[in-house]
């Protein structure tokens, strides 16, 4: 069966791969949106944190024998702690000044992280083994899908929806959202806003690291894995609306699918289609699809 001259098999195959990519986009843009929403910082270091998460998992595996399942917990904790440290020592100086400085600072941090890991590990990347439980593949008829990739989609979407639920439907989330709108008032109510901000940044970093651990068996663990992704993730967040959690999740998945589709018809354009969509969205709805006008 053919759609527009392309066999259905190829179609579905690329769409499914696109869904896998989209799950990563969703997770990463979620973290970015959370951080931007609460701190007003455009966290350029997000890609680097994702990379560090993957390396923590890899180093854990190679040197300490920590297996994949434990890494899903340890990597976000380690990187989250790193995030808290960064927030306390560097970021907190920047809240009162022009947000471009936050962008530039995190850009600098990303460069430092990338440089350190490049120095240590080179550029060509390390292999991370797929955990035994998830090895093997399933023949879906139109393609053979490695089981691990199915797991990635499940895991990341669960995490995304879980985070969305916490932020939009729980009390803690309510404090967070209130803190975004009016920190002084929230502080007057007795909520420790600086601590909340610090932990939020840590949580955002932890989310990035979790995405890194999930990605490790799929792509090689290399110091460049973050910078390859970060610009696309930014575009996703801008399209979704820079403070909107749900927006970033939905847009992330949607864009993964769109990329997959593009690969079927016009593969060379797959890297640029995100930006074209961004340009169009910005012309029609400057605040993004789900964003509120600033």
Partner 1 sequence: MNAATDSPAAVAAVPAATPAPASRMARAALWVGLAVLIAAPFIGLYPIFMMTALCFAIFACAFNLLLGFTGLLSFGHAAYLGVAAYTTGWLVRSANLSPELGVLAGTLLAGVCGLAVGLIAIRRQGIYFAMVTLAMAQMIYFVLLQAPFTGGEDGLQGVPRGTLFGVLSLANDRALYYVVLAVFVAVFLGIKRIVHSPYGQVLKAIRENEPRAISLGYDVDRYKLLAFVLSTTLAGLAGSLKCIVVGFAALPDAHWSLSGEVVLMTLLGGMGTFAGPVVGAFTIIGLQNFLADRVGSWINVIIGAIFVVCVVAFRRGIVGELNAWQQRRRGR
Partner 2 sequence: MKLTRLSAACALTVAALAAPAQAQVSGDVIRIGLITDMSGLYADIDGPAGAEAIKMAIADMGGAVAGKKIEVLVADHQNKPDVAAAKAREWFDTQGLDLLIGGTSSGTNLAMAKVALEKKRVFISVGAATSALTNEQCSPYTVHWAYDTVALAKGTGNAVVKAGGKSWYFLTADYAFGSQLQADTSAVVKAAGGTIVGSVKHPLAASDFSSFLLQAQGSKAQILGLANAGGDTINSIKAANEFGITKTMKLAGLLMFINDIHSLGLKATQGMYLTDSWYWNRDAETRAWSRKFFEKMKRMPSSIQAGDYSAALNYLQAVKAIGTDDADKVLAHMRKTKINDIFAKGGYIREDGRMVHDMYLMQVKTPDKSTEPWDYYNVVETFKGDTAWTTKADTKCAAWK
Residues 184-213 binding partner 1 (CB under 8 A) are none
Is 125 a binder of partner 2 (CB under 8 A)? yes
Provide, rounded to whole angstroms, the least separation between the CB of residue 112 and partner 1.
Answer: 3
Window contacting partner 1 (CB under 8 A); options: 1-9, 13-21, 167-175, 264-272: 264-272
Size of the residue set binding partner 1 (CB under 8 A): 53
Is 46 a binder of partner 2 (CB under 8 A)? no
Nearer to partner 1, 1 or 294 (CB): 294
Is 103 a binder of partner 1 (CB under 8 A)? yes
- Which of partner 1, partner 2, none does residue 10 bind (CB under 5 to 8 Å by kind)? partner 2
Q: Which of 168, 267, 269, 286 binds partner 2 (CB under 8 A)?
A: 267
Q: Which of 40, 99, 131, 146 binds partner 2 (CB under 8 A)?
A: 146
Cβ distance 75 to 65 under 8 Å? no
C-alpha to C-alpha distance for 217 and 54, rounded to whole angstroms: 9
DSSP string over 210-271: HHHHHHTTTS-B-TTHHHHHHHHHHHHHHHH-TT-HHHHHHHHHHHHHHHHHHHHH-GGGGG
Nearer to partner 1, 104 or 145 (CB): 104
Kind of pairing between the strands at 6-7 and 137-139: unpaired
Window contacting partner 1 (CB under 8 A); options: 20-28, 146-154, 166-174, 280-288: 280-288
Tokens at residue 140, please?
Answer: 């879906």
Is 90 a binder of partner 1 (CB under 8 A)? yes
Provide, rounded to whole angstroms, the least separation between the CB of residue 210 and partner 1.
Answer: 24
- Which of partner 2, partner 1, none does residue 116 bind (CB under 5 to 8 Å by kind)? partner 1
Nearer to partner 1, 102 or 260 (CB): 102
Is 108 a binder of partner 1 (CB under 8 A)? yes
Cβ distance 114 to 222 under 8 Å? no
SS3 category, 5: coil
Residues 209-248 binding partner 2 (CB under 8 A) are 218-220, 222, 225, 228
Distance of CA 290 to the CA centre of its chain: 18
Burial of residue 119 (CB within 10 Å: 0-12, 13-18, 19+) is exposed
Break the chain down into helix, strand, coil percent, rounded to 5: 75, 5, 20
Tokens at residue 155, please?
Answer: 């895991």
How many Å is the Cα radius of gyration of the chain? Answer: 19
Is 282 a binder of partner 1 (CB under 8 A)? yes
Is 13 a binder of partner 2 (CB under 8 A)? yes
Of 228, 257, 227, 252, nearest to 241 by C-alpha is 252
- Footprint of partner 2 (CB under 8 A): 7, 9-10, 13-14, 17, 118, 122-125, 127, 137, 139, 143-144, 146, 218-220, 222, 225, 228, 260, 263, 267-268, 270
């Amino acid at each position: 069966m053919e759609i527009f001259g392309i066999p259905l098999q190829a179609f579905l195959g690329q769409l499914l791969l696109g869904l896998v990519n989209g799950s990563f986009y969703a997770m990463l843009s979620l973290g970015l949106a959370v951080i931007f929403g609460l701190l007003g910082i455009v966290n350029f270091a997000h890609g680097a944190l994702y990379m560090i998460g993957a390396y923590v998992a890899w180093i854990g595996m190679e040197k300490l024998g920590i297996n994949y399942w434990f890494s899903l917990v340890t990597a976000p904790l380690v990187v989250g702690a790193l995030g808290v440290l960064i927030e306390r020592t560097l970021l907190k100086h920047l809240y009162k000044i022009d947000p471009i400085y936050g962008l530039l600072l995190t850009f600098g941090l990303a460069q430092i992280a990338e440089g350190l890991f490049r120095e240590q590990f080179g550029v060509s990347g390390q292999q991370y083994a797929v955990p035994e439980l998830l090895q093997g593949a399933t023949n879906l008829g139109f393609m053979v899908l490695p089981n691990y990739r199915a797991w990635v989609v499940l895991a990341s979407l669960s995490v995304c929806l879980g985070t969305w639920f916490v932020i939009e439907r729980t009390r803690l989330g309510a404090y967070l959202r209130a803190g975004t709108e009016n920190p002084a008032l929230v502080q007057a109510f007795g909520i420790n806003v600086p601590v909340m901000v610090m932990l939020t940044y840590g949580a955002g970093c932890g989310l990035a690291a979790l995405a890194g651990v999930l990605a490790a068996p799929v792509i090689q663990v290399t110091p460049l894995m973050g910078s390859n992704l970060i610009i696309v993730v930014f575009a996703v967040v801008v399209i979704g609306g820079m403070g909107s959690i749900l927006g970033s999740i939905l847009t992330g998945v949607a864009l993964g699918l769109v990329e997959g589709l593009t690969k079927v018809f016009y593969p060379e354009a797959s890297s640029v289609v995100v930006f074209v969509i961004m340009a169009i969205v910005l012309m029609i709805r400057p605040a993004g699809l789900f964003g509120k006008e600033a």
